Chain A
Amino acid sequence: MAGTPGPDPPADGGGEARPAWDSKLQYLLSCVGFAVGLGNLWRFPYLCQTYGGGAFLIPYVVALAFEGIPLFHIELAVGQRLRRGSVGVWTAISPYLGGVGLGCFTVSFLVSLYYNTVLTWVLWYLLNSFQHPLPWSACPLDLNRTGLVQECRDSSPVSYFWYRRTLNVSADISDSGPVQWRLLLCLAVSWAVVYLCVIRGIETTGKAIYFTALFPYLVLTVFLVRGLTLPGAMQGLTYLFTPDLRVLQSPRVWLDAATQIFFSLSLAFGGHIAFASYNPPRNNCRRDAVSIALVNSMTSLYASIAVFSVLGFKAASDHGQCLDRNILHLINAFDLPEQSVSRDTYTAALARLNASQPARVAGLPLEACRLEDFLDKSASGTGLAFIVFTEAVLHMPGAPVWAVLFFAMLFSLGLSSMFGNMESIITPLLDLGVMPRRVPKEVLTGLACLLCFLTATCFTLRSGSYWLEIFDQYAAALNLILLAFFEVIGVVYVYGMKRFCDDIAWMTGRRPGFYWRATWKVVSPLLLLTIFVAYTALLASSPPRYKAWNPRYERFPSRQEKPYPGWVLAACALLSFLPTLWVPVVALGQLLARCREKTRDPLQDGRPKPRGGRAC
């Protein structure tokens, strides 16, 4: 095999050499940074907790083995072999498949819009963490200084800071309100930081990734060590990891595990294809795929241990405070000496008082304090980061330090994912030759970042967070699954399994074995199709609703469930299908162009072209 000349290398766009990684480590860190993102921190622990703790790892590992790693290997191999961004790669495989690349490009654009908005919120919290006491620790005073602000009093200082002082959220999605200037400033800085890092493509991101990819691990370790030494951490961890195997019977678990692996590895964005295209042609992409996927999953586990030790501490602390409030009521009502009832003797004292004066005890506003209830309060997504964890940090000694560390970690986690997103936008643009060759790369990246910034200002409106949820649920999910399905089908059936295996043998030195060929040919496409159907069924089963923060709601602070207005539903539908529409549109366009060519020039016979082009 070593003696055979490799397959013809595809012509590089233009006379300039393609940029290359400084070292293999840079490439690995970039892929790891792209894959490891905010979801590893705030989605995986929530799924673990909801789906029976350690038992969730079973569907997770199954999905990793049969869906995650095979798809990841395809992306890296295809990018490394064809040495183009996502649009170029699919056009090279077959002109009819060019729509897949465009679809990936569109989805990356939409995702980077709202992903950087989340980073904006993280940045806002980071900026506000440099003070003691932290601004979300106490309610502010109302206008005439006689009491606390009503909204804050009814909910909690942490929720108030998030919904009012950060988002200034409106009560309804149709009520857009003005642009929030604070968030706009943070958005500008956020995009400026992204531009600073991607300004010259992998030349600059390659340097930045050393910090942004490794810093989160350092902070996670610090939090892990600190968290494990806090009281209540062990209860949190045991509660999290105690397996409950009965949950495996519900199909919902398997669906969530499959989607989690899919989005966690950032598949079908085109970012990994772009990163792999800068590799030297002979690079063991199989080993890279397996190792990066494993690192990603290990990070999820590591992060969930750190997160849950802190949340266990928070639950224990809240439970203790609940008991203290009850004890205070008892002491005040019965005029018992201070500290005569401790947390341990509370139940005995309550029983004694209930036996002697049940009527008075019944009149007291005592809460039921059970540790399991506090441990059950799980949250995912922004709720975990901005409400639950910020409250947990308040209880830790030296709160501002922990807050700064936490939000700095979130920011660098998100930033390294943003590098991948921006690569999947900029590399196709460069390969397509959108700008004339004289124009330096800095201008192209600047224009891309500027366009994204201007479009993302719609998320700084008062209804911005509702729109972000829509984008998160509808723009990314279904499109990515469909595009990944087309990717697998495109490589295996259009490019040809034999040719693909030959390429991989040339690149890595070994032909892919039975596991790879079986998963690529049968298992992964079937899995993807099943996930797509199940996901669509799930979304369609209940009319889409959203939870609004409405201070005037009678059951405030519970969030009010409202249905989406008609025009918003239309926007949801558009977002769900527009990116994938590129695939049939481009295929049809190519078909029409070929037919027109053939009818115009009948002398050119329909010899099948070697590059997989189909005769009309």
Chain B
Amino acid sequence: MGDIIDAENAFKVRLSIRTALGDKAYAWDTNEEYLFKAMVAFSMRKVPNRETTEISHVLLCNVTQRVSFWFVVTDPSRNHTLPAVEVQSAIRMNRNRINNAFFLNDQTLEFLRIPSTLAPPTDPSVPIWIIIFGVIFCIVLVATMLLILSGIQQHRRKHKGPSEMEDTEDKCENVITIENGIPCDPLDMKGGHINDAFVTEDERLTPL
């Protein structure tokens, strides 16, 4: 490959299979290389004017134990290598397919000098922090309202308290006789109920 290798149009590829797959790592052999050539040829065939690219047009060399190698794509006449720009754009378009064929991703299957398009960020329509913020704000608002309302109620009850006592005493005079502030109901149906007024009188007289 030395005579037609054109350093300008050749790309170095580096695979990190063990990093990606751990125990399930496969060994890199000639069959894998064949698959690689097939994927590159497939990518080139998608480029207009290059639909006749064959697997034999993709040349690999300098395969190391790292698993890294160089590759070029030649034209059908096998005399010239295809320009780097074309190969670059073809690989970029089909990067995902190539990665999936080898169970790798952009970081473990590196094409040096071919930058990968970064995945667009998956932003939800409403940022999550706003949702949590809304929840907390509503809770705080509701709790504050409850506290303020209960405070107003307590305030009102405290102020109405003394005047309410006077009202009931007026009413009692019409309905129930008050003896020493204790309402006595002679028609009490409960039976066996101690008449408080009577008891108080007794207590008053007993010490004598």
Contact = CB atoms under 8 A, between A and B. Distances in A.
B18 A335 contact: no
Interface string B129-146: 100110011001101100
A189 B143 CA distance: 13
Nearest to A189: B137
Contacts of B136: 127, 189
A199 B148 contact: yes
B133 A332 contact: no
A145 B120 CA distance: 7
A185 B117 CA distance: 36
Given A128-B129, A186-B133, A338-B67, A192 B115 contact: no
B129 to A, nearest CB: 4
Contact of A199 (B117, B120, B129, B144): B144
B133 A196 contact: no
A339 B66 contact: no
Contacts of B117: 145-146
A594 to B, nearest CB: 41
Contacts of A335: 64-66, 68
B118 A146 contact: yes
A417 B16 CA distance: 52
Nearest to A131: B128
B141 A192 contact: yes
Contacts of B19: 338-339
Contacts of A339: 18-19
Contact of A442 (B137, B141, B151): B151
Interface string B57-93: 0000000111110000000000000000000000000
A141 interface: yes
B155 A440 contact: yes
A336 B65 contact: yes
Interface of B is mostly: helix
* Interface size classification for chain A: 20 to 34
Contacts of A128: 128-129
Contacts of A141: 118, 120-121
| Listed residue (A192, A196, A338) with the most chain B CB atoms within 10 angstroms of its CB | A338
B60 to A, nearest CB: 15
Interface residues of B, number: 29
B14 A332 contact: yes
A337 B118 CA distance: 28
Contact of B118 (A124, A147, A189, A440): A147
A149 to B, nearest CB: 12
A130 interface: yes
Contact of A200 (B67, B132, B143, B151): B151
B7 interface: no
A442 B136 CA distance: 21
A351 interface: no
A566 to B, nearest CB: 39
Contact of B66 (A124, A185, A338): A338
Contacts of A331: 66
Given A192-B141, A336-B66, A127 B155 contact: no
Contacts of B14: 332
Given A186-B133, A331-B66, A192 B144 contact: yes
| Listed residue (B17, B18, B129, B147) with the most chain A CB atoms within 10 angstroms of its CB | B129
A447 B140 CA distance: 17
Contacts of B143: 196
A185 B147 contact: no
Contacts of A291: none
A199 B132 CA distance: 24
Given A141-B121, A335-B64, A442-B148, A130 B141 contact: no
B151 A127 contact: no
Interface in A442-480: 442
Given A335-B64, A335-B68, A192 B121 contact: no
A338 B18 contact: yes
B137 A440 contact: no
A189 B120 CA distance: 32
A195 interface: yes
Contacts of B144: 192, 195-196, 199
A381 to B, nearest CB: 24
Given A146-B115, A337-B67, 20 more contacts: A127-B128, A127-B132, A127-B133, A127-B136, A128-B129, A130-B129, A130-B132, A140-B121, A146-B118, A189-B133, A192-B137, A192-B140, A196-B140, A199-B151, A200-B147, A331-B66, A335-B66, A338-B16, A338-B19, A339-B19
> Which 7 A-B residue pairs are closest in the complex by CB-CB distance?
A335-B64, A127-B129, A335-B66, A337-B65, A338-B18, A131-B128, A192-B140
